[in-house]
A and B are shown apart, each in its own frame.
Chain A
């Protein structure tokens, strides 16, 4: 059955028509079947995963270290101590490591049974003392603090209210408390020993809990960014690929200040103000560019007597830095653990964008070279909220000052471009913050 009418017959030869396809299309296809478009997105997740693994590994390593105390074999006897029983105890759950030698000073009768106070010992025993020992915060009354980070032994002798003489010192650079008693004295009858598991922050562990403090820090960082375009509709895919192929990542800059608070549990809160400039390079080769050269001719007096204008034609390569500048408010929460002078922290947080501006050059939808300033509707007014994960490594130079290194991966869930623009532009960054910290 011939279903075609005369119009159909006129157009039927179009079925077999053929034309030359441009080979530049093959290059685009090849790139697309070779490289998965999600490669750039993997950058953020891999860097975040890497950071988390490093952080987790460090925490596990530190936790494992707590379970194998080495102090008993290495401990050094303290001066001026007549030791019958030597046990090490921690003073309070959050206090420094303490070694205590307990002997009665006057008589056992002075030690009245009031309340039992449990203390963990180095050899997994608990000491039940008749009266609670003074907390570490009360001890350094004689003027010399038992700073866990200090290397200088600083023995202090003072009287405790329960007639025990307390003496502090250092064992293997760990602040200690000793209780010297007269010779020929007998061990305290009211001391009992029981098996107990060592607790975090107790004697035998080299991990020292971070003292409660407030700090301020200042930092600067290079920004390694990954900017990628995705089409809002299938028709804009080729334009997205064009933008991706003409814009390449470059190193940006980040600087800021933060104030923070460290709770004795190790929890850490930070807030600050930051300036950052994410950069990328716009590269484009103009195959047939026209360059106008004007030669001005002047007479002896400097008057212009004529101009020669010549045009040169050739290939020109454009290499322009695009800048995305923002002022942000970073907020974070984290956990910090400390080992001697080294502090390790894991942080997660959000960055609120306060101001966003951009300058640069790009290829527009008509495949012409244009500047961002020519089209104000490309970008959103704000970069939105971004999220980050970071691992902080800090070294204490003194009681007040520290330096730190903080690799940080940040993800911007919101597109930089507005909803009316055919392409979404998402950015992930990897920053390595370096800075100084002052502890109040």
Chain B
């Protein structure tokens, strides 16, 4: 598979089954309700968007729900994408908004759906590297809902506190405070893991 394109990602070429497809052609095909183009669009972006969802969700099942809702929303509103800016950026914004809505209503549904009974997937040092992506992802997922949202939006997505305040319907100072607490918590967890790994390594003959 080969892909080329400019930095804005608006003219990315995909090599699919022997046909080079322009991103705009792909979107046009989706708008014309062509199933193969819709599937291709999902295949191209679902990996990245699932990764976004994983950061906001507490576990994989919830992340898949978020992804599904985000793609359905995207396909239903695809005609609203006018080609200004990258398609990936537009889709990422939809995915983030969908994830935020999920998180805001989750405290109620967790109890109803029995998610609290799901096994704790937390692991320390099993991957061999404390900075492994899965491990970092798990640390973010383990943050309390409010901290996780603000940390994701600020530290990873790059939104300002003012933007976060508007998105989450909180004040900018609350956003700052949540971020500080999230960082502190993550730092503590990282320290714990490093300590755990150090002790484990010492025990190995």
Asked if A pairs with B, the answer is yes
Q: Which residues of A contact B (CB under 8 A)?
A: 4-5, 7-8, 10-15, 17-22, 25-26, 28-30, 32-33, 232-239, 365-366, 420-422
B113 A365 Cβ-Cβ under 8 A: yes
Bound CA span A28–B72, Å: 9
14 more A-B residue pairs beyond the given contacts A11-B151, A32-B72, A237-B69, with a C-beta to C-beta distance below 8 A: A4-B155, A10-B136, A13-B136, A18-B47, A25-B68, A28-B68, A29-B72, A29-B75, A233-B108, A233-B109, A235-B65, A235-B102, A236-B109, A422-B109
Closest Cβ of chain A to B37, distance in Å, is: 12
B156 A19 Cβ-Cβ under 8 A: no
- Which of A11, A237, A239, A420 interacts with B155 by CB under 8 Å? A11
Chain A: which residue is nearest B103 at the CB level?
Answer: A235
**Which B residues are in CB contact (< 8 Å) with A33?**
38, 72, 75-76
Chain A: which residue is nearest B105 at the CB level?
Answer: A233
Within 8 A of A (CB), among B6-53: 35, 38-39, 42-43, 46-51
Closest Cβ of chain A to B154, distance in Å, is: 8
**Contact string, B73-87, partner A, CB cutoff 8 A, digits 1/0?**
001100000000000
A selection of 20 A-B contacts at a CB cut-off of 8 Å is: A7-B155, A7-B190, A8-B155, A11-B136, A11-B151, A11-B156, A12-B156, A14-B136, A15-B158, A17-B51, A21-B49, A25-B67, A26-B42, A26-B43, A29-B72, A32-B72, A33-B72, A234-B69, A235-B65, A235-B109
Q: Does B91 lie at the interface of the complex (its beta carbon under 8 Å from any beta carbon of A)?
A: no
Interface size on B, residues (CB 8 A): 48
**Which A residues are in CB contact (< 8 Å) with B62?**
235
Secondary structure class of chain B's binding surface, majority of residues: helix
Bound CA span A25–B155, Å: 29
Bound CA span A189–B55, Å: 103
Chain B: which residue is nearest A9 at the CB level?
Answer: B155
**Which B residues are in CB contact (< 8 Å) with A237?**
65, 69
**Which A residues are in CB contact (< 8 Å) with B102?**
234-235
Bound CA span A17–B140, Å: 14
Q: Does B93 lie at the interface of the complex (its beta carbon under 8 Å from any beta carbon of A)?
A: no
**Which A residues are in CB contact (< 8 Å) with B65?**
235, 237-238
Bound CA span A20–B190, Å: 27
Query: Are A17 and B64 CB-contacts (below 8 A) given A233-B105, A235-B109, A366-B117?
Result: no
Closest Cβ of chain A to B45, distance in Å, is: 9
B35 A234 Cβ-Cβ under 8 A: no
Bound CA span A7–B190, Å: 9
**Which B residues are in CB contact (< 8 Å) with A17?**
51, 133, 137
Q: Does B187 lie at the interface of the complex (its beta carbon under 8 Å from any beta carbon of A)?
A: yes
**Which B residues are in CB contact (< 8 Å) with A14?**
51, 55, 133, 136-137, 140, 156
Bound CA span A169–B140, Å: 95
**Which A residues are in CB contact (< 8 Å) with B190?**
7, 10
